[in-house]
Amino acid sequence: MYRWISLDNWTYSRTFKTPFDIRKWQKVNLVFEGVDTVAQILLNNVTLGRTDNMFTRYSFDISSVIQEVNCVEVRFLSAVSYAAEQSRCHKGHSIPPACPPPVQKGECHVNFIRKEQCSFSWDWGPSFPTQGIWKDVRIEAYDHYHLIYFSITPLFVKSAQQWCLEVESIFDVVSSKPIAGLVTVNIPKLQTQQSFSVKLQPGEGSIVLHVNINKSAAVEAWWPNGHGKQTGYNMTTTFMMEAGCQIEKFSKVYFRTVELIQEPIPGSPGLSFYFRINGRPIFIKGSNWIPADSFQDRVTSDTLRLLLKSAADANMNALRVWGGGVYEQDEFYDICDEIGIMIWQDFMFACALYPTNQSFLESVRAEVTHQVRRLKSHPSIILWSGNNENEAAIASNWFSIPYPDIGVYIKDYVTLYVKNIREIVLCEDKSRPFVTSSPTNGVESVKEGWLSRNPYDTHYGDTHFYDYSHDCWNWTMYPKTRFASEYGFQSWPSFSTIEKVSSPEDWSYTSNFSLHRQHHEGGNIQMLQEIGRHFKLPQCPDPVKQFKDMIYLTQVMQAQCIKTETEFYRFSQSEIINGEGHTMGALYWQLNDIWQAPSWASLEYGGKWKLLHYFAQNFFAPLLPVAYEDKGMLHIYGVSDLHEDHKVTLRVTVHAWSSLEPVCTLAKEGVTVKAQSAVPIYKEPICDLLGRCRNCTRESCVITFCLVGEDGLQSPRNHYFLSSLKDAVGLQKTQLSASVSQQDGIYIFVLQTTAIAPFVTLDVGSIKGRFSDNGFLMTEKKKTVVFYPWEPTSVEELKSSLILTSLLDVV
């Protein structure tokens, strides 16, 4: 109904008084930090210039145009019309894809406009092609010189065993003659102060200073979440130039090194692919980030903090900023620096081929230069990546390009990502690695002319993997890859999230609303099939109850599937089997949602945790026992991200579904869990295990297990199902109850059950906050769960909103 807005042209205008005497200044600029996207900018009816790239900063010299009272206009052109026109005028070969699949209900030719690619629709998001001023606008007036970019890059000089900072400043120098002066850099905490005599050249003058950190100062490095502190130091840089005013720049400086290691592995063809931070290999645990809203001005720092804090609270240490969205706002990276979330940063190109005509390349070059200069001081960013899936698109020929024509597209690909983007990145930032695409075979792709035959090869680089037609509980279907940078399954968001944007007639799994919001072809049916493999589908005659049961089961299924897959990646980190393994990263698709709809996300629109996010807190735990079955043998691995070896006890408990009393328990003491690795700690044929436990069968019993060490060291309790739950024997409908009490700023829920209850879920509707645990297997009469509110609430409010669900409540 609102599509017409994106097809219209809109003009934003205002009048303003100049709050200073114009004649006093040599130069006055009108600066737009972000214009979305195609516009003509006018001041007092004089055209200053045009914009065509959402990701670039535009600065216009208005010294001769500005008056005491001014009228500024930004005349936008419909992004949809502009993209269509650019495509129509493109000479030579076509640039696919022309349009998104019909199920996405989107707009066409988004690859012809430098705008958020998913704003024309995606398989998890709507088509809202915005037009407007999406970042700050300001007027700058100055004499002599003005600081435009300022960045700090820490480098560890091995030969001198000393930290050094590369401080780069880029100026607009108005003066016609060079300007001399003194720059002083001061980091009090590190007893470091250095002064430099400098000379600024007219035009765009830049200076690069090398600051050696005092050797006697103990520098604390920046570490990812779970591996140490995120120490930052206050730094002041003072520019005292002979002409013009003094500039003082206050910054936070962090010290960390990053290396992407691609080297031979004994017993395996191919190369490794893992990150070393401060010399230590780090297993990357996390997810993929998409824009938090279709309307970027709604994304406040509170929105970002809530989502990023939720990632850290689920034991994540990394996120990939995906290439079909936006380069995130400064605050996003500031928060990541502060809480230790590493960022894999894509450039904004996704799932498409792109033009390489002169004007397009010039625009991209300006975009990349601006973004690298803006972002390179952030320790959280550990990798630049050229695009999302475009190497794979050509290698797998997604767009059915006739074989004789493929060479043209390969040439375009190399021109854009290698000769332009890569060249600029390497010139602007020598401190972190760059890969051309994701997935890619890394240096092997380079060797094959930047396009590998199979970018999904498990022996090189990273992989993306999706499969909705096989059993997701079966670990053998997953690739034993070096690095899993995308994988996932869909689910529906909670009823309380959907309720806000729907009416009662929409509340069924097959309603028009449910179809309209599902942008992935066959997605709703795929979820049903996945559920049907292991659970009984809801048959309740009450349609609303059936819809709610369906939502619950999609979340249970998604959580259990991604748990199985992620645990597989984690236990594969220290072994090579049939030439595959040494998996050193697991980033599931996707962290957050752009609207209220079925998607792959673990955080709903608004920040509510799905069951998957609660599961992630456990499957990404720093210490975790993982079970899998192979040819009738139960294997348990001890997985650890801890920096030291630990002696622990493995406790295995077998329960019959019919009783809260364990059938049998086993404690294996003196188990060594090795630092930052995954080691086998237990194995036994399942038939022997069941035989020992009073004639358990696969259908009648379930296994739970945990690791317990000294000084309170403990893993989450994990579970392993021996059969599908639809075949479980002895499960009884339970009476679940909860008491709620307040303790300081948190709320304590004490749950009681009369029988074993799988996937016990607490839901307090739209009260904002999260639980300490959710979706768990309850094998004891009592369990305490804490609720952390994100806004004021009360015991009464929580009690009246609480809905308790377990698997047998689904009928």
Q: Is 486 a catalytic residue?
A: yes
Give the single-character DSSP code of 594.
S
Say whether 747 sits in a helix, a strand or coil: strand
Q: Is 448 a catalytic residue?
A: no
Say whether 727 sits in a helix, a strand or coil: helix
All residues at 6 or more sequence positions from 197 whose CB lies less than 8 Å from its CB, including other chains: 180, 181, 182
Contact 328, 359 (CB under 8 A): no
Helices (H) and strands (E) in the chain, counts: 16, 47
Which one of 33, 116, 389, 580 is the catalytic residue? 389
CA–CA separation, 150 vs 253, rounded Å? 12
Cα separation values, 679 from 571, 583, 643, 672, 781, Å: 8, 13, 15, 9, 33
What are the φ and ψ backbone dihedral angles of 499, each rounded to 5 degrees? Answer: -55, -35
Give the single-character DSSP code of 340.
T
Contact 51, 75 (CB under 8 A): no
Would strands 27-32 and 120-122 be described as parallel, antiparallel, or unpaired?
Answer: unpaired
CA–CA separation, 278 vs 257, rounded Å? 5
CA–CA separation, 608 vs 596, rounded Å? 11
Say whether 15 sits in a helix, a strand or coil: strand
What are the φ and ψ backbone dihedral angles of 413, each rounded to 5 degrees? Answer: -60, -50
CA–CA separation, 165 vs 211, rounded Å? 5
All residues at 6 or more sequence positions from 542 whose CB lies less than 8 Å from its CB, including other chains: none
Q: Which of 715, 706, 723, 633 is nearest to 665 (CA)?
A: 706
DSSP bridge partners of 671: 648
Q: Tell me which amino acid residue 706 is.
A: C
Q: Taking the CA of residue 123 as centre, how many other CA atoms within 13 Å lie in the half-sphere pointing to its CB?
A: 14
Q: Which of 240, 147, 254, 153 is nearest to 195 (CA)?
A: 240
Q: Tell me which amino acid residue 516 is.
A: H
**50: its two tokens:** 């045009």
User: Is 162 exposed, middle or buried (CB count within 10 Å of its CB: 0-12, 13-18, 19+)?
Assistant: middle
All residues at 6 or more sequence positions from 219 whose CB lies less than 8 Å from its CB, including other chains: 163, 190, 213, 255
**310: its two tokens:** 């939720």
Which one of 367, 486, 565, 580 is the catalytic residue? 486
Q: Which of 210, 186, 211, 181 is nearest to 197 (CA)?
A: 181
CA–CA separation, 253 vs 675, rounded Å? 30
DSSP bridge partners of 324: none
All residues at 6 or more sequence positions from 252 whose CB lies less than 8 Å from its CB, including other chains: 232, 233, 234, 235, 337
Phi-psi group of 67: left, alpha or beta (phi > 0 → left; psi -120 to 50 → alpha; rest → beta): beta
Q: Which of 362, 527, 359, 347 is nearest to 438 (CA)?
A: 347
Cis? peptide before 439, omega within 30° of 0: yes
CA–CA separation, 249 vs 606, rounded Å? 36
Find where tokens 């830049």 sit.
206
Concatenating the DSSP letter of every residue in 279-301 gives: TEEE-EEEEEE--S-SSGGG--H
User: Is 17 exposed, middle or buried (CB count within 10 Å of its CB: 0-12, 13-18, 19+)?
Assistant: exposed
Cα separation values, 538 from 157, 367, 549, Å: 63, 51, 6
**106: its two tokens:** 């989107």
**20: its two tokens:** 């200073």
Q: Catalytic residue positions? A: 389, 486
